[in-house]
């Protein structure tokens, strides 16, 4: 295993029934850095995150997190290993019978014996970080799509995990909140050394935040620092980055 | 699926057997989770309210109607033999031994069982259960066990209420409308019904039905496909499977235990 990588997918094959999602996927995500997972719709970005989280098991190959193949873990071991991982889902996945405050507090109540006053302070702090100070008493059904995304992020980082998996963290957000979430993710990455893997369509945000990129393709996967990807003249990379940023020529991104 | 009718029958038999095995394993999971702390009393109380209290109108309304029908039918039959004074015994034994637990089971399946399957199925479709797994929280422990336990606890109580309301319905029709003597109605009821054989047996029957409906509803919801069609299919399957299971188990319990 390459020690610089927190997560490595080695020769992963996965099919849903007749449909093959990955034939032989190999890629890695460096420890303590922000990585952007790019690719067209249906390319399998969310599936990669679910494989890393152990929510899906590959048909073949290994998914190593901290050197341990999560695809081979028993349920109890897998559950323990997830304590180090936070994850946000595309639709938020907040429990709709609980208020925003209760949702964010849930991991703390389940896994710690934190005094109530400290818990309340921690949850309020996280809600303030994502701009939801006044939304603690609301139910998820009363929130906008962007607010749900932000509440889900607050819940994912409340336990201060070692790794954060974000599925489209910037969709449904207005520009002000895109900046707010960018700042929060950067702060968590710098303060806690958090490894962040974000599946996103937001190329500008990806280029401004990520220090590592993985572009999923039909036949091959390209990965490397953003500057290398921006200079890449492989037709597949040029096509994807050009379609996302019309008028782009190789090397045009920072 | 292609193949001869025999192939199709075999394929279906294998699928049903696998499904039953998976349901039994899931039942074991729920049972283990039930006794693993924390007990989650608050969630259990909420679930008992959803399953039990919210089912009261339909169970009591139906009980009253069934009791009235039994009163009418029983009177019309008994009066031919001049035995209308035994109306209380006929209505009481029919309700306590058979109709109370079975009809309550079917009513609760339609109202609360389908709701439980739909709620859990919607949580699957909106990735809420996956969200819990990623927080290292067992969805069976947090979501499923309280709903299954609530069904088990509420069913005997609802069945008892159904029977009481139906006895009242039979009394209203028999005594107030058809002129049967009130004292005879109650004394024939009292002398015909044995507490241990009839009442306790009836409650145990309802307990078994509660466990079955709880298992089927939570299993179908938990294993539904993550789409709106999947939730709909899980809800339908819950009502069909649980209703048939109640009737089949009722036959076996009556045949083997004589309850």
| Chain A contact for B1 (CB, 8 A cutoff) | no
* Helix axes of B201-222 and B145-171: crossing angle, nearest 10 degrees: 140
Beta bridge partners of A165: A87, A197
Question: Cβ distance B181 to B86 under 8 Å?
Answer: no
Query: How would you write the pLDDT of chain A (254 residues) with one tens digit per residue?
Result: 456 899 999 999 999 988 999 999 999 999 999 999 999 888 899 999 999 999 999 999 999 999 999 999 999 999 999 999 999 999 999 999 999 999 999 999 999 999 999 999 999 999 999 999 999 999 999 999 989 999 999 999 999 999 999 999 998 889 988 998 999 999 999 988 999 999 998 888 899 999 999 999 877 899 999 999 888 777 777 778 776 555 555 445 44
Q: Among partner residues A55, A79, A85, which is closest to B130 by beta-carbon distance?
A: A55
Which chain A residues contact residue B43 at CB under 8 A?
Answer: none
Can you tell me the distance from the alpha carbon of A33 to that of A5, in angstroms, rounded to the nearest whole number?
10
Query: Scanning every residue of chain B, which has its alpha carbon at the shortest distance from the alpha carbon of A161?
Result: B135
Sheet strand arrangement including A195-199: A85-88, A163-167, A195-199, A34-38, A212-215, A222-224
| Chain A contact for B37 (CB, 8 A cutoff) | no
* Helix axes of B145-171 and B87-94: crossing angle, nearest 10 degrees: 170
Which chain A residues contact residue B132 at CB under 8 A?
Answer: 95
Classified as helix, coil or strand, B77 is helix
CB contact under 8 A, B128 and A107: no
Task: Please provide the size of chain A in residues.
Answer: 254
Beta bridge partners of A38: A215
Which chain A residues contact residue B136 at CB under 8 A?
Answer: 79-80, 82-83, 107, 110-111
Which chain A residues contact residue B138 at CB under 8 A?
Answer: 79
Query: Would you give the distance in Å from CA B63 to the centre of its chain?
Result: 14
Q: Among partner residues A80, A87, A110, which is closest to B137 by beta-carbon distance?
A: A110
How confident is the model at residue A2, as a pLDDT? 55
Can you tell me the distance from the alpha carbon of A192 to that of B236, in angstroms, rounded to the nearest whole number?
48
Can you tell me the distance from the alpha carbon of A194 to that of A185, in angstroms, rounded to the nearest whole number?
9
Can you tell me the distance from the alpha carbon of B134 to that of B128, in angstroms, rounded to the nearest whole number?
10
Query: Scanning every residue of chain A, which has its alpha carbon at the shortest distance from the alpha carbon of B122?
Result: A96
Can you tell me the distance from the alpha carbon of B172 to that of B170, in angstroms, rounded to the nearest whole number?
6
Which chain B residues contact residue A91 at CB under 8 A?
Answer: 126-127
The secondary structure element, H or E, covering residue A21 is strand A19-30
Mean pLDDT of chain B: 96
Query: Scanning every residue of chain B, which has its alpha carbon at the shortest distance from the alpha carbon of A110?
Result: B137
Query: Scanning every residue of chain A, which has its alpha carbon at the shortest distance from the alpha carbon of B125?
Result: A93
pTM for the structure as a whole:
0.91
| Chain A contact for B32 (CB, 8 A cutoff) | no
How confident is the model at residue A1, as a pLDDT? 46
Can you tell me the distance from the alpha carbon of A214 to that of A193, in angstroms, rounded to the nearest whole number?
20
| Chain A contact for B4 (CB, 8 A cutoff) | no
Classified as helix, coil or strand, A116 is helix
Q: Among partner residues B130, B137, B138, which is closest to A93 by beta-carbon distance?
A: B130
**For the segment B41-54, what is each residue's pLDDT rounded down to a tens digit?**
999 999 999 999 99
Query: Scanning every residue of chain A, which has its alpha carbon at the shortest distance from the alpha carbon of B126?
Result: A93
CB contact under 8 A, A83 and B138: no
Buried b / exposed e across A120-136, counting CB within 10 Å, b at 16+? Answer: eebbbebbebbbbeebb
């Amino acid at each position: 295993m390459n020690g610089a990588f927190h997560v490595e997918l080695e020769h992963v094959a996965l099919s849903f029934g007749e449909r093959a999602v990955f034939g032989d996927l190999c890629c890695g995500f460096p420890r303590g850095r922000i990585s952007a997972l790019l690719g067209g719709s249906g390319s399998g970005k969310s599936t990669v995150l679910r494989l890393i989280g152990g929510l899906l098991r590959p048909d073949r190959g290994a998914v190593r997190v901290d050197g341990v193949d999560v695809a081979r873990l028993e349920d109890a071991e897998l559950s323990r290993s997830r304590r180090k991982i936070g994850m946000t889902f595309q639709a938020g996945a907040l429990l709709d019978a609980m208020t925003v405050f209760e949702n964010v507090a849930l991991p703390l109540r389940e896994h710690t014996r934190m005094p109530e006053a400290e818990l309340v302070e921690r949850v309020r702090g996280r809600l303030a970080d994502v701009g939801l100070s006044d939304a603690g008493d609301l139910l998820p059904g009363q929130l906008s799509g962007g607010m749900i995304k932000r509440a889900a992020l607050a819940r994912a980082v409340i336990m201060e995990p070692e790794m954060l998996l974000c599925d489209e963290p910037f969709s449904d957000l207005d520009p002000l909140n895109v900046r707010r979430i960018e700042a929060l993710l950067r702060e968590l990455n710098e303060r806690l050394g958090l490894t962040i893997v974000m599946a996103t369509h937001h190329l500008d945000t990806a280029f401004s935040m990520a220090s590592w990129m993985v572009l999923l393709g039909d036949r091959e996967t390209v990965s490397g620092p953003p500057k290398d990807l921006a200079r890449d003249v492989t037709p597949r990379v040029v096509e994807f980055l050009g379609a996302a940023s019309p008028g782009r020529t190789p090397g045009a991104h920072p | 699926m292609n193949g001869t009718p025999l192939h199709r029958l075999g394929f279906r038999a294998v699928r049903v057997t696998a499904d039953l095995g998976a349901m039994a394993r899931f039942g074991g999971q729920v049972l283990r989770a039930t006794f693993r702390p924390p007990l989650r009393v608050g969630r259990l109380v909420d679930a008992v309210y959803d399953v039990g209290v919210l089912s009261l109108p339909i169970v009591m309304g139906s009980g009253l109607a069934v009791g009235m029908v039994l009163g009418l039918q029983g009177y019309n039959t008994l009066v031919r033999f001049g035995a209308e004074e035994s109306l209380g015994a006929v209505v009481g034994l029919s309700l306590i031994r058979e109709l109370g637990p079975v009809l309550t089971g079917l009513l609760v399946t339609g109202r609360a069982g389908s709701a439980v399957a739909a709620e859990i199925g919607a949580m699957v479709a909106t990735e809420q259960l996956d969200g819990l797994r990623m927080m290292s929280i067992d969805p069976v422990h947090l979501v499923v066990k309280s709903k299954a336990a609530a069904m088990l606890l509420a069913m005997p109580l609802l069945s008892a209420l159904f029977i009481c309301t139906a006895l009242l319905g039979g009394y209203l029709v028999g005594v107030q409308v058809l002129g049967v003597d009130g004292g005879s109605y109650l004394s024939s009821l009292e002398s015909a019904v044995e507490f241990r054989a009839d009442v306790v047996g009836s409650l145990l029957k309802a307990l078994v039905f509660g466990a079955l409906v709880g298992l089927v509803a939570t299993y179908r919801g938990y294993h539904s496909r993550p789409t709106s069609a999947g939730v709909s299919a899980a809800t339908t399957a819950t009502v069909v499977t649980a209703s048939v299971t109640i009737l089949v188990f009722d036959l076996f319990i009556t045949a083997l235990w004589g309850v």
